[in-house]
Every structure is written in structure tokens, then in C-alpha cells.
Structure 1
């Protein structure tokens, strides 16, 4: 089969066959007969006659560019990159896309053979890898030996194994130390890849060895989420450091109830009991708080030897809360009805939730002279809660001084006689003077109780500081300090009672002054 091409001419009378709008080509045999074009699937594309000069295009979409020209005949050249046959640079060629399917040739209706023929089929007996070029794969003389095929199959199997290993390693857990370091450095990490219990425990132990609190807390929470509760509790109890960090985390979250429950099951009964007690104190209703503290004492403190001392105090607190509720109910009713002792004054505060000393002060202030059988009696309160006499005297003195009940104060401070012996007061008068000064007691009351101070130097210093001149003069007289009296004359107002007293002492020759 030959391709006759008539070259385009620059003359106006010649038709331009290379116009893309009117492509023309004549396919014919050497003897001028029609040619049939067969595509690569074996289907006939059509007949090309020399009269219509149409351009034949294969079903694969390959573009075949031809020219028709008079007097020039050249063979069709189908070019492959790896073709052994050299291509004429001047001749047009048809380029077929490489593919692994069988190739076809252009069959001629004439019995004679074409000028250039293409093999009917080029096949590969086995698949080829990427190392084998596509051009070499379509060569007709490409043959693979049994050894080469075996190598190819072995290489494919190796690649499959590497792919499967890569897929498995994608979800494989990294080294524990690497994960801990990433956690410490603040980098992204994942704990979900650690599935087995030994891996999780190794993760926690490694975090404890690194002494990183944030990592320990994060891993403990991961174990809490992924383990059964009994396993989590058992393993965590073996690691006290992890329990400490877990407790701090729950405390920072403000979940006191969960913290108390977790500490209880983790074997830290003392801490759990204290957190339960703190939880009970959060109640704001007096009756509810009383019941909560009482229940907490019975369940978490009572019968536990290590908490025996705390149990005693909690029992006393429950008794005090009960007594406060009883006194408050009576006083609230008396205050509403304007009955004594609230006929001319209003209560400053309610009695709920007050400490024992403050409760005693309240009773001394409003119920100082009631009988001891009364619930609000200070003496009954002191007796019930085993308070010391010093606590009672100090608290009662403050209550009497603040209300300016000087008679009650004097009764309280008067020494009692027992078998004709005078009993010394349990509180020094220097403390009483301090109470009177804070209560802004009158000058004569300060003078009276300052003279009862036993420490002479402290009495003189206190009297000079608060300008109680009578006490200063009397103290200097007792010390027989003539020079001190003479120097103190400038501090005393001229013509006052203290000035007259001072002049009388200086003129008294019977006193033996210290030189």
C-alpha cells in the first residue's frame, strides 16, 4: 500500500490540501485499488477511495495527518518510539498510543502486500513491572525467560508485603519513651494506640519515672476511661504518686463529691473522711448541715482508730449546733415579742454556725445572770463543753465591758474565798485593763483595775501611756522614786486633783525616798 501525496503549491490555481478545514488524503494500492482500514479491535473503519480523498481516523482517536499530491508516492509509516525500523524524516507518520492490548494492522482488499506492514499482534506472556519500559513491552521480539518472570513475581510479592507492613505500622503504637517525651515537650500525641493492659501500665510507670505531673494526670485519666473500674482502682492503689496527682486534678475541677468517693475506694480513708466533712459543711441550712455532719461522723469517723480525736470534736460540734438551734429559736421569739433581754436592744447577729467561744460570748452578753439550768446559761455551756475558767472569765469580761455592765464585771473579778483563803483570779489584771481600754471604759474604771496590776514596771508604763496620772503617782510613791515624781510634775495639769496629790507627796518628809 502506498500513500500518494500532492504537495501544495503557491500557485493560485492549485488547491491547498493542507487546509485544516478540508483535509484530504488518498489511500490506494500500488495498482490504484481501494484500501480498507481496520482498527485495533478488528472493526472496519471504512473504505477510502481516491475520488473523495477523505482523511481516515482510527477508532482509538489517533490523528493521522496526510497530504495528497500528484506524482509522489510514499509508504505509510506507523512509528513507535522503540521501533527498529528507521523513519524517514521527510515522510509523515501515524503515531499509535502504547497499550498492552493486541495491535492491528491496515488490511488491504488487494491480494498484494502493502509497501509497509505491521504485525497483527504483539503480546506479553506475563505482566511487567514499572522498570520495564512501555516501548519495550510492545516490541514483537520481547520475550521473558522463566528466571526473569520469577524475579518479577518475587518483586511484586515483596512490594505487597511492604505495603501491608506499612498499613499495619500506621496504627502500631510508638515507643513509650517517645510518647512521654512528646507529652513533656507539649507536642501532639495519641494514647489510643496503646490497647493492651501491660502497655498502658508501662506508659503510667514511665511517666512516674520522668516525674512529669501533667503526663501522669493525662495517663491516669486515659486509664480511667479505658479500663474497668476494679482494674483501674487496683492498679492505681499500687502507685501512690499517681493517686496524689489524680486527687489534685479532682480537687482543681471542684468535684469534691467525686474526690471523696475516689479517695475512699483508693484506700485513703482519712483523706476521704475529711473531704466528706468539708462537703457536709457546704450546706447553708442549719438543720441540713447538722444532719450532714452527724451522718458524716457516723459513717466516716466513728470507729476508725486513726480518726478518734477528730471524732470527739465532731461529736462536740454536733452538740453545739443542736444547742445553738435551741437557743436561737427561743431568742428569735423573744426578740420578736420584745421580751427581756431584747426589750430595749436588738440582737446583733444570729447564733447559727458560730464557734464555741463566740457562742459563749453571746450567752454572756444576753444571758449572763440566768440560772444554770437554762439552756442559754453561760455556766451550763462551760460545763457541757468542758471549757476552762480562764476562757470563761476572759469572754465574760469582754461581754460586760462592751455593754458597760461594771457591776457584773466587778462580780466576775471579785476574788472568791475558799476556807478563809482568798482565791486569786485566773486572769491577770493586765489583760483586764487591755479589755477595758478597747471597750473605752471610763477613767475611774481604768484607774481602779490598773492599781491591781502586779507587775510594777508594766503598770507604770501602761499608766504613762494612757495618762492615768493617779496610777503613775501612786506607783512612783510605792517605788519611793523622788526624782521620778519631780520630773512628772510637768505632765500633770496645774490645780488638778493629781497635781495636789503630787505636791503633798513631795512635801512629806516622813517618806524615805531612794537616793
Structure 2
């Protein structure tokens, strides 16, 4: 018995201090531990039973658990007990869990039977302490057949999700995919492999193409697989095939929209059917008309090719008037054109596209499209508003003169 134990076992100390005797936890202590989780612990991380809801933690494990608990985790992973705590022959599951939760040294190796280890896991789950659950799971992994551990975890979603989160955080994709495959969740395992491939992008496009093609063939061409995931991977395979054909290092592992911007810049006049044509790439990768318009607008406007922008986004109606034709919502289009320093005429054409007069006037005032403001006030027969607006313009400017001419127009029957 060391000095610490001597101190805690004196009668005077026992009367004054909280007892840490290795006895069975009282119901009140279990409830208190369950309610007082370690700082930063998130209930959500351990309550979801769906793999899709497990949150990937990017912080290092050391920032989530106390140093003492981290030592216990590393000890459990090593399979060794270099400085074993002398286990009490009568040590109970409750005492072990109490020590884990409080961050005190605890030897899990005293629990040798499958029954005792299962009870240890159940007790950690009952308390709800994530650090204790993870420590026990890692202990089970080290001391039991993995298949048996996976069977225990499959019926205990809280422990399963905690272990999955740990494997994700540590980047142990091989162990994670083994776990999910053994649980009959091959598509989930394949998606984790795909995510790992995306995070570790590099090397040749051809190598990535082979890996992703194998994933699709082995896991996503089977009945019951997630249709959205299967389509996403199939589209990615097509993009890698296109990048392999293009043979441009600048395009390797880039997004479809990045590749579209490259084609708009360098292959704008390629005819449909040519692999490098923007239209061909859009069709191949199923890029939406809205995405296409947005990329084309930004690529050509930034390079000063306003003739291309105007030819694509404006057209003549049957009365010979110029109108806007775009899949981009008109207010978003107007805001972006203004940022890109489009001509006043093009901005005016966009503002005139707005059907409601009050919205048209609001936008014209916001972007200082004076001709539209003047025209709108005249149509509203609001002489006072037009007079007030004239005072905001530079005298003798073209717009100032337009206001004066409009105010002198006897054809307008002003309401004020």
C-alpha cells in the first residue's frame, strides 16, 4: 500500500473526503457521470445509427480526450501493459468503468472472460462516456477475434459509431473498410475508400481511373446499391476518362466546371462532337444550363470578350427590342455583370428584363441605370419624383438633359 492509499484510508480523511474506494458505483454516481461528460464531447457523434450521419472529426485525438485517457487508449492499442496496475481479484466492471471515467489508472486486462468483457462494454455504454467506450472497444480489438468484436459492435450502434469515428479520425481506412465489409455494408466501405482516394489525389489520372473503376465494378454494379452514389462515381469515371484523353496536367484531378472553364478559354470555337468542345464536355458530364451560363459569363467577361457575352445572353424579340436570355436569375446576373464592369447598355437590358415596375425601378436606382429610372417615372406619370431625381444628376450630362426633355414632353399627362 503506497502513501496515497495510506492517506485515503485514514478515518479522518474518509470522513472529510469523497470516497474513491473500489466499490460498486451507486445509481447516483452513474447518473452523475452520465450527465457530466468530458468537455467538448458531442452527444450527436455517438447517437446516430446511420453511417451517413457519422461526423468526420478533423481534430487530433489528443485535443478531444484528457492525457490520462489518451494513455489508456494507446495502451489498449499496443496490446501491452508495460506498467500494469495491480488488478484487484475482486475488481468489478463498475469499478473499472469508474476509474476510466475519472481518468484514473485502470487495468482492463483483469477482465479475461468474454462475459466480463461484454459486461465491460455494456457498462461503458450505460454510462455514455465516449472516452470510456472507445477505450473498451480498443481493448476488445486487442484481446478478441476481430470477427467476434464486430459482432458485438453490430448490435451496439453507440459503440460502433464511436469506433468508426475513431478510425476515420486516425485515417485507418483499411480497418474501417474491413469492419464495414464484415458487417455487410460494402457500399459504405467503398465510399470511404473513394473519399480517401479524393483526399489523396495525386499521381497519374490513369492510376486514379483504375482504382475508381475497380470500386464501381466491385461495389456499385450490384442490386441494392445507392443509385445516387453509383451515378456520382460513374460521372467521376467519365471525367477521369476525359482528363486522360485531354492529356493536360493542368486538368488532372480537377472538377468538371474547372475543365469547362479551360475549354471555354482555349477551345471555344471547337464544334460539338469534338472532345475538347465546351458543349461536348457539358453533355458528357451533364453540366446544367445554369452552370454552363455562369462559367461562360465569368470566363469571357474576365478576358474582356464582351461581344461573346452579349451574343450569348441577349437576343432580339419580334419587335426588334434587345432582351436578356439566360438561365441565371436576372438579379444574380445583374449583380455579377455589375461586378465584372459590364457596359451600362447591357445592365439596362438586364434591368428591363424585370417584369414588375417596382422591382425594375428598385434595381435601376441601385445600379444607377438612369435611363431606366427616367423611363419608369415617366410611365408612372410621377413628375415630382422625376424632378427630385434630376437633382441627383450632373448638370448638362446626357441623362440630365433626358430628364429635362421628358419633363417638357406635353404628351405625358403628369399626375402631380
Distance in 1 (CA, whole Å) between partners of 2:143 and 2:368 is 77
| Pairing partner for 1:459 from 344, 354, 360 | 360
- Give the distance between the partners of 2:276 and 2:194, measured in 1 at CA: 28
Is 2:216 the partner of 1:297?
yes
Distance change >3 Å, CA 286–CA 476, structure 1 → 2: farther
Name the structure 2 match of 1:489: 390
Q: 1:306 to 1:495 in 2, by over 3 A?
A: same
Which residue, 215, 232, 243 being the options, matches 1:313? 232
Q: 1:269 aligns with which of 183, 186, 192?
A: 186
User: Does the aligned pair in 1 maintain the 2:125–2:133 contact within 8 Å?
Assistant: yes
The match for 1:26 is: none
2:158 equivalent to 1:241: yes
Match of 1:461, SS? Answer: helix
Q: Is the 8 A contact 1:473 1:485 kept in 2?
A: yes
Judge conservation of contact 1:247–1:263 (CA < 8 Å) in 2.
no
* Long gaps (5+) in structure 2: 1-85
Asked if structure 2 preserves the Cα contact closer than 8 Å seen for 1:173 and 1:193, the reply is no
CA distance in 2, matches of 1:414, 1:388: 19
Alignment length (residue pairs): 325
User: Is this contact kept in 1: 2:314–2:324, CA < 8 A?
Assistant: no
1:173·1:194 contact (CA, 8 Å) conserved in 2?
A: no
Pick 1 or 2: higher relative contact order, CA cutoff 8 A, min separation 6: 2
Verify the 8 A CA contact 2:314 2:323 in the aligned structure 1.
Answer: no
Quote the Cα distance in structure 1 between the aligned partners of 2:190 and 2:260.
29
Deviation, structure 1 residue 509: 0.9
Q: Deviations over 1:377-410 (max 9, x none)?
A: 1211222233333332333223232222222122
**Residue 261 of structure 2 is aligned to residue 361 of structure 1:** yes
SS in 2 for 1:369: coil
Structure 2 residue 328 is the aligned partner of structure 1 residue 411: no
Distance 1:416 1:512, change over 3 A: closer
Aligned to 2:110: 193
Give the SS at the match of 2:237.
helix
> For 1:322, which of 241, 264, 268 is the aligned residue?
241
* Greater displacement, 242-251 / 480-489: 242-251
1:446 to 336, 347, 370: 347
1:283 to 176, 180, 201: 201
How far is the alpha carbon of 1:373 from its aligned partner?
1.9
CA distance in 1, matches of 2:162, 2:350: 58
**CA-based RMSD:** 2.8
> Which residue in 2 is equivalent to 1:78?
none
Question: Which of 370, 386, 393 is residue 270 of structure 2 equivalent to?
Answer: 370
CA positional deviation for 1:467: 2.6
Distance 1:313 1:393 in 2: 22
Q: Secondary structure at the match of 1:441?
A: coil
Question: Is 2:268–2:277's contact at 8 Å kept on the other side of the alignment?
Answer: yes
> Residues of 1 paired with 2:344 and 2:324: CA distance?
25
1:318 Cα shift?
1.3
* 1:34-88 per-position Cα deviation (integer Å, ceiling 9, x unaligned): xxxxxxxxxxxxxxxxxxxxxxxxxxxxxxxxxxxxxxxxxxxxxxxxxxxxxxx
1:260·1:272 contact (CA, 8 Å) conserved in 2? yes
Change (3 A) 1:267 1:370: same
Seen in structure 2, the aligned counterparts of structure 1 residues 478 and 402 have a Cα distance that, compared at 3 Å, is: farther
Instruction: Check conservation: 2:150, 2:182, Cα contact below 8 A.
Output: yes
Give, in angstroms, the shift of residue 423 of structure 1: 11
**Displacement after TM superposition at 1:416 (Å):** 8.1
User: Does the 8 Å CA contact 1:485/1:502 hold for their aligned counterparts?
Assistant: yes
Corresponding residue SS for 1:174: coil
Q: Secondary structure at the match of 2:394?
A: coil
How far did 1:494 drift?
1.3
Local SS of the residue matching 2:191:
helix
Matches within 5 A, 1:374-385: 374-385=274-285
Aligned to 1:176: 93
Structure 1 residues 219 and 173, CA gap change in structure 2 (3 angstroms): farther
- Note if contact 1:480-1:512 (Cα within 8 Å) is conserved in structure 2: yes
**By how many angstroms is 1:351 displaced?**
2.4
Specify whether residues 170 and 269 from structure 1 end up closer, same or farther in structure 2 by C-alpha distance, changes over 3 A only: closer
Partner of 2:412: 511
SS of 2:193's equivalent? helix
- Where 2:110 maps in the other structure, the secondary structure is coil
1:443, 1:468 within 8 Å by CA — same for their partners in 2? Answer: yes
Contact map agreement 1:223 1:232 (CA 8 A) in 2? yes
CA contact (8 A) 2:265 2:300 kept: yes
Q: Give the CA deviation at 1:487.
A: 0.8
* Structure 1, unpaired ranges of 5+: 1-168, 333-349
Task: Report the alpha carbon displacement of residue 308 of structure 1 after superposing the two structures with TM.
Answer: 2.0
